[in-house]
Amino acid sequence: MAPDDSAPQPARDHKAFMDALYWWGIPTLFRAPHDPDPAACDIGLVGVPHSTGNGTTERDQHLGPRAVRDVSANGRRVHMHFGLDPWNTCRINDLGDVPLPEANNNERCIERITEFYRAVDAAGTRPVSVGGDHSITGGILQALGGPDSRLTGGKKAAILHFDAHTDAFSNMKHFLGAEKSAAHWAAYLVRDGHVDAHRSVQVGIRGNARTLDWLKPSYDLGYEVITMDRYKEIGAAAAIDIIQQRIGDHPVYITFDLDCLDPTVAPGCANIEAGCNGFMIDEAMALLRAVRGFNIIGGDVACLMPTKDSPNKITSMVTMSVMFEMLSLIADSHFRD
């Protein structure tokens, strides 16, 4: 939100100060202006209040967008590492939430999500979204990647995928009834021509595996997989090099499942993996910055469960911080003078 240059300096200072207080005013994402027209901004902030891609086991992820709206004014800041004020670098608006009137019908919701993001893509706007369970990424990338995409120039998208799980489940065609589910999206997007797995990296994978070959679907599809064990073995610098070499100059989409983080960092997320350490937030931020300067078409943060969060809303604030990193990466890469 650019300051009103016609106002006296004290008034501008007061407004900037008040815009960063989360407990007053209208709770848009990061106190950005609300305008549903994607053509009116460069970066569009979007809520995707969807749970039925994984709602049979973790039900309250649709409450995530509202929880982040409630705290995210506090994250309306400058990026010291980049030397960047994204709010004065480009136009950033809150586009609102994807309307999901058939909320209990996962397949119809995925169609609705895709319809919404087709309009975003057609405007050339780069979205940063908050879910919602991880099935939202399938709906989003059906619009943003592949031959009909404006943002990728008709190419398949590369993805930088942070997660404890691969979401490339293929043993069954559905997850407890949901076909384009939170467990399937990383597989069907490749098969349907929206994502290039050979340009993509899955990082942070860990947890209580159901089968000994649980990584095989990702390898068969062509993904590079950096498990937590591998990350600990090779270190951050080598992991960053793998990400950069793999993606190269390809258009890339970032998707961040909060369960890649250690449970002490993000306790209020779905499908939490508490049996082994996840990323500390500084480790995850360093890996996100691996794609600074790359052709980033958008990003999302998924699997926030406010009903499992601590009273101080720490996981909502972590979600806000990851979103801020994504929008800053996009502003720095695409809209900086």
287, pLDDT greater than 70: yes
State residue 209's pLDDT score: 76
CB 111 within 8 A of CB 52: no
Please give the domain boundaries of the chain with CATH numbers for all domains: 28-334 (3.40.800.10)
Instruction: Identify the sign of the CA torsion 161, 318, 45, 61.
Output: positive
Amino acid at 294: F
Render 101-127 in DSSP notation, one character per residue. Answer: TTTT-HHHHHHHHHHHHHHHHHTTPEE
**What's the mean pLDDT in 303-307?**
96
CB 244 within 8 A of CB 150: no
Task: Give 150's Cβ-side CA count (13 Å radius).
Answer: 11
State residue 192's pLDDT score: 97
State residue 1's pLDDT score: 45
CB 299 within 8 A of CB 256: yes
State residue 3's pLDDT score: 46
Token reading at 314: 């720490």
Question: How buried is residue 206: exposed, middle or buried, by Cβ count under 10 Å (0-12/13-18/19+)?
Answer: buried
The overall pTM is greater than 0.85: yes
- SS3 category, 43: strand
Burial 74-84 (b: 16+ CB within 10 A, else e): bbbeebeebeb
155, pLDDT greater than 50: yes
- Alpha-carbon distance 211 to 220, whole Å? 16
- Tell me the average pLDDT of the chain: 92
- The span from the first CA to the last CA of the chain, in angstroms, equals 18
193-205: pLDDT as tens digits? 999 999 999 999 9
Task: Give 52's Cβ-side CA count (13 Å radius).
Answer: 16
Look up residue 32 and give its DSSP letter: P
For residue 285, how many other CB atoms are within 10 A of its CB?
14
State residue 177's pLDDT score: 64
221-274: pLDDT as tens digits? 999 999 999 999 999 999 999 999 999 999 999 999 999 999 999 999 998 998
**CA 303 vs CA 142, 156, 204, 223, 327: distances in Å:** 19, 25, 15, 22, 19
- Assign 9 a pLDDT band (cuts: 50, 70, 90): low
Prior bond of 132 cis (ω within 30°): yes
Task: Look at residues 253, 251, 236, 256 and name the one whose alpha carbon lies nearest to residue 322.
Answer: 256
182, pLDDT greater than 80: no
